[in-house]
Structure 1
Amino acid sequence: MRNVVVSLITITVLLGVSGCSFQANTPAPVETLYTGKTYKDKMKGSLKQSRYQVQSGDTLYSIAWASGRDFKTLAKLNNLHSPYTIQPGQTLNLSGQLPKPRPVRPSTKPNKISKVPKPAQSQTVTKTKQKENAKSVDPKKSQGYASTTNSQFTNNKSTFDGSGKISRWSWPTKGKVIASFSSTAQGRQGLDIVAREGSPIVASAAGKVVYAGSALRGYGQLVIIKHNDEFLSAYAHNKKIFVKEKQEVKLGQKIAEMGSSDSDRVKLHFEIRYRGKPVDPMRYLPKL
């Protein structure tokens, strides 16, 4: 009986030592929490938090794109005005109620009338100004877009107000469409087009470049173009980008070369967004 007790004690001690050894070599489980500080760690279109801290390389347009919101809505939420300049470290509201416009109180004071100009003088001045303006207007710049040059970059000194209508769209590259737009919650938000690496990518409509970089995970080397106050287009997975932010581009102008940045194959992912929401590009592109 004594031998049995000794044997049991020995087995218990050995098991305890073995257990301690096993626990010592096994690391404790670690829980990884997403802090929600930057969209760079998130997949495209998944920035769902209510506030966001601006990182280096961000633009209001790229943040709006990642959060699936209209840039004008974000601007109003954060009291930003054109050209919508933001700084690293700045905190932006991504959701909330838009500020209500302040009511304008009617003035109780009578309007003071100064000297009324003579009609003849007024007409003379008006005609003179019209002649001067007619001489100073450059027909190439009157449309708000830069004139074409032989270089890859266009002259971006001319103004672009983004309020004009889009006369027509064109295909951003020549290739084969391998994936179409889907309106489902988890569906594809644009078209996937394949061609040879280095194939030219062109602006699908005239506009201004509002983002050119690789900060948005899932898009690789990305270009976003603002066409007016309602439409944006995006060109993802590029090998090389030939445009820069704030540059004006023409319809059909080369903006990049097709590549495979942040993608499993060489392709162009092309999106069109209307008021911040993805729409089917096939509704706007000419039929093949």
Structure 2
Amino acid sequence: MGERMTGTRWISRACVAIALAASLALAGCVGGSPPSAYTRTGSQRPVTHVVVAGETVYHIANEYGVSVGRLMVVNGLSDPRELRVGQVLTIPGAYRAASIGTASSGVHPYTGERAARQFQWPVSKGVVSSGFGIRNGAMHDGVDIAAPAGTPVYAADGGVVIFSGTLHGYGNTVIIRHDDDYATVYGHNERNLVSEGNRVARGQEIGEIGRSGRTTGANLHFEVRRDNVAKDPLAYLPEPTSAGPISFAAAGGS
């Protein structure tokens, strides 16, 4: 994060909530340069958005996690009412690889080197519907695991609950601090079953999957962080078996 939730995204309000509730030093939450994931190189192009009927400057800014003022300045808008259907807006600070196309859509099993530290899956059954990385022009700091509302959410490892409450975009959220400066985040819960300060065991039920916060359906937004830096959770989870209870969606996006 710096801490930021996208797709769930960390924004200044969320940073304050976590800093107060968890006493974490969250560098880079407010101001500063765009995160390195958005740094432009010769092989990348700006993310654009085509305005459709019913959209407003405020809606589009919220969709991409940028300020209304910055969106207007970059696109030469002096009045939010100037927006028109079919207008192409440049999303400030966001870039995507020029080669990205429909062939790269979908969620795939992790193929890189697995981390030495391994957690357990936070659900016993579900579909990984959205992966770690750039999504809709912004960084998605975790994975989304779709499952029916009410499905139990389990602690990926033992630790101490440092936040249990509501965060903008994330809805009902639990954050657990583990040893070796690791933390795991569980968002979009229907309800949280633990409180701040509780010590939890690996595999203990801590919540239920829901639709709280900003999401298109019932799913768990799960993050693994070390020293407040988001890591690809799939590198820290056991590889699912081909016929097992965890699968991967053909196209992501919850």
Q: How far apart, in 2, do the equivalents of 1:167 and 1:258 lie? A: 25
Matched, 1:207 2:159: yes
> Which protein has the bigger strand share?
2
Alpha carbons of structure 1 residues 243 and 66: separation in structure 2 relative to 1, 3 Å: farther
1:46 corresponding residue in structure 2: 11
Q: How far apart, in 2, do the equivalents of 1:241 and 1:198 lie? A: 11
Secondary structure of 1:270 counterpart = strand
Provide runs of 4+ in structure 1 moved above 3 Å.
54-58, 60-63
Cα offset, 1:46, TM superposition: 2.9
Aligned CA-pair RMSD:
3.1
Alpha carbons of structure 1 residues 194 and 56: separation in structure 2 relative to 1, 3 Å: closer
Alpha carbons of structure 1 residues 167 and 221: separation in structure 2 relative to 1, 3 Å: same
TM-score normalised by the chain length of structure 1: 0.45
Q: How far apart, in 2, do the equivalents of 1:66 and 1:264 lie? A: 28
TM-score normalised by the chain length of structure 2: 0.51
1:172 corresponding residue in structure 2: 122
Alpha carbons of structure 1 residues 186 and 61: separation in structure 2 relative to 1, 3 Å: farther
% same residue: 33
- For structure 1, list consecutive stretches of 5 or more residues without a partner in the other structure: 1-38, 69-165
Corresponding pairs, count: 145
Alpha carbons of structure 1 residues 44 and 58: separation in structure 2 relative to 1, 3 Å: farther
Alpha carbons of structure 1 residues 61 and 235: separation in structure 2 relative to 1, 3 Å: farther
Q: How far apart, in 2, do the equivalents of 1:171 and 1:55 lie? A: 26
Matched, 1:197 2:162: no
Opposite residue 9 of structure 2, the aligned amino acid is K
Secondary structure of 2:12 counterpart = coil
**259, 271, 274: which one aligns with 2:226:** 274
The structure whose RCO (Cα within 8 Å, separation 6+) is larger is 2
Opposite residue 174 of structure 2, the aligned amino acid is V
- Aligned pairs for 1:1-288 (under 5 A) are 44-47=9-12, 58-61=20-23, 64=26, 67=29, 168-173=118-123, 174-182=125-133, 186-214=138-166, 216-262=167-213, 263-288=215-240
Secondary structure of 1:283 counterpart = helix
Larger radius of gyration: 1
CA contact (8 A) 1:62 1:211 kept: no
Cα offset, 1:258, TM superposition: 0.4
Q: How far apart, in 2, do the equivalents of 1:66 and 1:204 lie? A: 26
Q: How far apart, in 2, do the equivalents of 1:281 and 1:224 lie? A: 14
Q: How far apart, in 2, do the equivalents of 1:56 and 1:284 lie? A: 23
CA contact (8 A) 2:9 2:140 kept: no
Q: How far apart, in 2, do the equivalents of 1:256 and 1:45 lie? A: 21
